[in-house]
Structure 1
Amino acid sequence: MIFPETRLRRLRYNTVLRNMVTETKLSVDDLVMPLFVCAGTNVRNPISSMPGNYQLSVENLVEECKKVYESGVKAVLLFGIPAEKDEDGTVACQHNGIVQQAIRAIKAEIADMYIIADVCNCEYTTHGHCGTIIDGDVDNDSTLETLAAQSVSLAEAGADMIAPSDMMDGRVGRIREALDENKFEKIPIMAYSAKYASGFYGPFREAAESAPKFGNRSTYQMNPANSDEALREVELDIAEGADIVMVKPALSYLDVIYRVKTEFRMPTAAYNVSGEFSMLKAAEERDWIDGARVMMEILTSIKRAGADIIITYSAVDAANILNGIK
């Protein structure tokens, strides 16, 4: 049938019916809040390019996690800013590393908070790259050993999930091997499988103090023009033992999220990254858009594309809306 017999607006006139036939439903359970922990005490440094986000010392991070948990968001993704850095990022592997301290402190206060530990070296190296530099570039295979050691240390501290974001070839398999050897076979891996060399990371590099001191990351992060390659990356990570695969960034890569979910039917995460968040906030501050409405539209689009998990700096704000608080 066609018009006038078929009138699709019949399903839109009533709020109750509109809700009944809503195809994509965003839930607080879908959301993960990224947080930045730094050395020191009583530190709450505003991140100028990311309004409402801070570098937090451990005790303030714990208080922030309490607020996140109370909003209904039960998972956080932790990034560390150490007091000192080194050439190959081994500072990230220390028993008393900054994220390790944070995990123990959070678990002592909020036992049920689900803690995802980002695994990478860029915050921990003096040069800002994601691994050991040999002959002017990141050496893939030596970096794997640091990543494996870091993962085990974070699991020992109490991390619930390991999330390697470095984009080294073979790192999921090496991390899985190291975790299993140390009796952490129950710890899942969420791989940043299709992580693009994107311009959307600028604010994060301020937040994590991780900008590279030379060159760029295009020899290990993906070319934004490629989506077939993303499927190859995801397939390899699954074969190496990834439990969840991720696409990063999210908003400019909705097609990749869709392709990954359709092709593999694996639990799929998407990272709504700092630049996406900051653009939204900048437009909202200038009254160019309804910030809350556009935020929810963006998150819904990521879910509609196929993401099961959405990592976003808007997690608490979105949770409050979903809970009817504002």
Structure 2
Amino acid sequence: MKQRCSLGLCAALLSVSALAADSYQLDTIASDLHYPWALAPLADGSFLVTERTGQLKKLSASGETLFSIQPALPELYVAAQGGLLDMLLLPDFAASGRLLLSYSCGTQAANSTCLASATLRADQLADIQPLFQAKPLRRGAAHYGGRMVLLPDNTVLLTLGDGFDYREQAQNKANHLGKIVRLQLDGAAPTNNPFVNEPATAPEIYTLGHRNVQGIVFDSLNQQVYSHEHGPRGGDELNLLRAGSNYGWPVATQGIDYTGARISPYTEFSGMTNPLYVWTPSIAPSGMALYQHQRYPQWQGNVFITALAGKRLHRLELVEGQVVAEHIMLAELDSRLRDVRSGPDGAVYVLTDSAQGKLLRVTPP
């Protein structure tokens, strides 16, 4: 099986197609969002949306803003790529209103990725409790990660970036930079994490060797976790996650530095896990959704990925954990796309990334 490929190298191995706009139906639900970052479609047809600038909004099924909250998150730091990031609705959310929020915290000189729990009651966010802060603190305002997914055992995977200027730390198991961590709902490290008994190692680490992971999903049918991450110039990756695995950054990469310099002579390295799929040139993957709904069987099991620099929605067909076809959608919008989620109605919902961000609904024609 081909383990590493780019759009150019894989042309003979899989189908890559650009879908015409008439091959799907596109509807605009809302068009007045301010740099939206994460989306949660609710069972009643409404939506929760985070805006990177610090707002949590609820929209009606028709896109009307029902309320807008500025959560009192401890030391929320809004700058460049930082701010209010992802949200994760806990299994009892419908009854309890419990959710998790990831965000950047601190100051320009010393900041990090933080996680907090809260309770949504009517149009208020209460009981905000800090749960976790990635260590060490760093300068700048880039590469926070921040995406979350809930596993069947009620632990949470939280993605963390390498801080941009600290890429070598992605291989240092003493800290959280360039890692994916696994946490209990109270923020503690589970006792069965892969490195929990290893000396001088952060016990929360689940996987390491990442650059900036901004998409993660759990495949409930196959009990697998997929993530994607930003490469530098080239080398964006789709990965199948295994506890304790090292995904190579910056030792092994198909990307080069923004200056054009070579980051590493290695595209793969012994003991490090190769990605399932690589995009070169970069698409800048952001959100990610795994479609597991019966309404549109032609999408069943497909992975949807939004792209920022690439300004596309990528639909990947997977067979036995391998990408066999890629379909390019929404190119006609020429818009940066931030997040994608599958709704309870079977539609796919997409957020655009701008000061006048949109919530879009995508369905087959």
Task: Tell me if both proteins adopt one fold, taking TM over 0.5 as the criterion.
Answer: no
TM-score, length basis structure 2: 0.30
TM-score, length basis structure 1: 0.32
**More helix as a share of residues:** 1
Higher Cα Rg, which structure: 1
**More strand as a share of residues:** 2
